[in-house]
Structure 1
Amino acid sequence: MSSLDILDWRRRVAELYATVRAASDPAAGHDIWKRARDELFRRHPASPIPVEQRATFDGLAYGEYQPDLRFEVQVDTNVSPERFEVQTGTDGLVPFQRVGRVHLPVGDLDVWWLDSYGGGLFIPLKDASAGNITYGGGRYLLDTVKGADLGGHPRNYLVVDLNFAYNPSCAYDPMWACPLAPPGNTIEAKLDAGELKPSPGKQSGRQ
């Protein structure tokens, strides 16, 4: 896997989310998202699925789309400054600054800004399903520097659709070091939507 492979992966992810945002309805966009992700994970050289497993890879595992888990919410910026840093093997020390919080019926989540070159919003999630039907380290909802962006209007609103929660790459391969959900992104609700826990024959992963 080369740097240009990763560039192409990110381009494709950004194009995919643009297609999702333009879909006729969220459920249709979710179907597009699932099919495209399965194809990327199966064939792309930057797939987090280990090379030796790709020949038998038969798709990621997902929960059914649940319309009541889609929210368009205002970012509450009345939060105290907070920072967390993640040491990774590929990107060095990755810093995040808390810039807000979104209040959802299932629980509140901190909104983080990648505080380095390029920047981007990041919303991880760890719910009560973690370690059971979903990946134990939690999942990602938005990661705009990587292209995972569901939009929002006006500018201080975000579309937060829990059906689009996806696993970090370290869920597939320990070679990846991924930022995981801090306490402000942990909720007590149990969610069976989005990408589910990897299991034999059904692999599921942060690019």
Structure 2
Amino acid sequence: MTLSLLDWRRRVHTLYATARAADDPEAGWAGWRSGRDELFARHPDSPLSAAGRASFTGLPVAPYDPDLRFRTRVEDAEPQRLELPTADDGVVPMDRIGTVALGDLGRLDVWWLGGYGGGVFLPLRDGSAGRTTYGGGRYLLDTIKGADLGSDDGHLVVDLNFAYHPSCTYDPRWSCPLPQAGNRLDAVVAAGEQLPAGGSWY
């Protein structure tokens, strides 16, 4: 269990490193997408239940939209700390480190997640939540777990085509920190991972 989880995390880190290195963002996204399908289908630490894995044919993903990729500056914001209880990890502290603007879609809070040595965390709940995507929202960046599209000179790469569902979408045995008020958009983000036909994985 421990070594297989280590392997899962290494593979996720590799998927994002390959995407960051790609000359063409869409090609990097395509490799990320196929790599996630492989992990979900075959890896022992797939978040899918045994029944879900048996019927799995791939993660539904919207077509790539280059207009939904942003290199955006992290702007200052009033500090805020949240402490979110989880079933498995106790209380997870999150400190707001700034905000990012995503064009006409709006602005999202950027968080520093305190567990596991810390990392940037950028969740999203948009107008598709509860309809074509998980009602609790999706993640854009979680650098602790390897979900990192790059940064430089005070900017982050935020590509909404890489929006992915947290593990709690696939099986109720998982618990996940979910987007708070500053990470909610009214607009529908028609990009990234979608729910399957029928609306649920379990």
TM-score w.r.t. length of structure 1: 0.93
Runs of 4+ in structure 1 off by over 2 angstroms are: 198-204
Matches within 5 A, 1:90-129: 90-105=88-103, 106-129=105-128
Q: What's the counterpart of residue 89 of structure 1?
A: 87
C-alpha RMSD of the superposition = 1.6
Shift of 1:52: 2.7
Q: How many angstroms apart in 2 are the aligned matches of 1:85 and 1:168?
A: 18
Counterpart selection for 1:191 from 177, 181, 189: 189
One-letter identity of the residue aligned with 1:93 = V
Q: How many angstroms apart in 1 are the aligned matches of 2:200 and 2:27?
A: 22
Extract unaligned runs of 5+ from structure 2: none
Matches within 5 A, 1:67-86: 67-76=66-75, 78-86=76-84
Q: How many angstroms apart in 1 are the aligned matches of 2:198 and 2:39?
A: 19
Aligned with 1:17: secondary structure?
helix
Q: Do the aligned residues in 2 keep the contact of 1:57 with 1:202 (CA within 8 Å)?
A: no
Q: How many residues align?
A: 201
Counterpart selection for 1:170 from 162, 168, 182: 168
Q: Do the aligned residues in 2 keep the contact of 1:71 with 1:104 (CA within 8 Å)?
A: yes
Extract unaligned runs of 5+ from structure 1: none
Aligned with 1:190: secondary structure?
coil
One-letter identity of the residue aligned with 2:130 = G
Q: Do the aligned residues in 1 keep the contact of 2:149 with 2:157 (CA within 8 Å)?
A: yes
1:92–1:158 distance in 2 versus 1, CA, 3 Å: same
Q: What's the counterpart of residue 39 of structure 1?
A: 38
Q: Do the aligned residues in 2 keep the contact of 1:59 with 1:203 (CA within 8 Å)?
A: no
TM-score w.r.t. length of structure 2: 0.95
Shift of 1:191: 1.1
Q: Do the aligned residues in 2 keep the contact of 1:141 with 1:162 (CA within 8 Å)?
A: yes
One-letter identity of the residue aligned with 2:179 = A
Q: How many angstroms apart in 1 are the aligned matches of 2:115 and 2:127?
A: 31
Shift of 1:201: 10
Q: What's the counterpart of residue 62 of structure 2?
A: 63
Partner deviation per Cα, 1:105-147 (whole Å, 9 max, x = no partner) = 1110000001244100000000001011111100000000000
Amino-acid identity (%): 58
Q: What's the counterpart of residue 21 of structure 1?
A: 20
One-letter identity of the residue aligned with 1:15 = T
Q: How many angstroms apart in 1 are the aligned matches of 2:7 and 2:197?
A: 27
Q: Do the aligned residues in 2 keep the contact of 1:58 with 1:202 (CA within 8 Å)?
A: no
- The answer to whether structure 1 residue 49 and structure 2 residue 53 are counterparts is no
Q: How many angstroms apart in 1 are the aligned matches of 2:27 and 2:195?
A: 23
Q: How many angstroms apart in 1 are the aligned matches of 2:58 and 2:122?
A: 25
Q: Do the aligned residues in 2 keep the contact of 1:57 with 1:201 (CA within 8 Å)?
A: no
Q: How many angstroms apart in 2 are the aligned matches of 1:188 and 1:202?
A: 22
Q: Do the aligned residues in 2 keep the contact of 1:60 with 1:203 (CA within 8 Å)?
A: no
